[in-house]
């Protein structure tokens, strides 16, 4: 999976862009301003990290950065 990381990210990013555009059209406006700080990672980056974590057999997310 790590060999195909860029390819997986591109596929996930394409999906997220198409999905979010459609999803935003179904949401209702609440009138309240968004709270809290903005996320440092995009939704597609988070999904890609989770896919790599679960498919790679890593027990903890911090172990993803270490190669053995």
Per-domain residue ranges of the chain:
1-20+40-68
For residues 48 and 12, is the Cβ–Cβ distance under 8 A? yes
Alpha-carbon distances, residue 15 vs 4, 51, 63, 64 (angstroms): 17, 14, 27, 24
For 15, the token pair is 């999906």
pLDDT higher for 18 or 25?
18
pLDDT digits over 33-58, tens only?
Answer: 777 888 789 999 999 988 888 787 76
Assess whether pLDDT exceeds 70 at residue 25: yes
């Amino acid at each position: 999976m790590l060999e195909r990381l860029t390819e997986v990210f591109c596929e996930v990013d394409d999906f997220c862009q198409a999905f979010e555009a459609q999803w935003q059209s179904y949401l209702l406006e609440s009138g309240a301003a968004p709270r809290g700080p903005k996320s440092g990672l995009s939704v597609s980056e988070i999904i890609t990290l989770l896919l790599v974590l679960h498919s790679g057999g890593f027990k903890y997310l911090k172990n993803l950065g270490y190669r053995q």
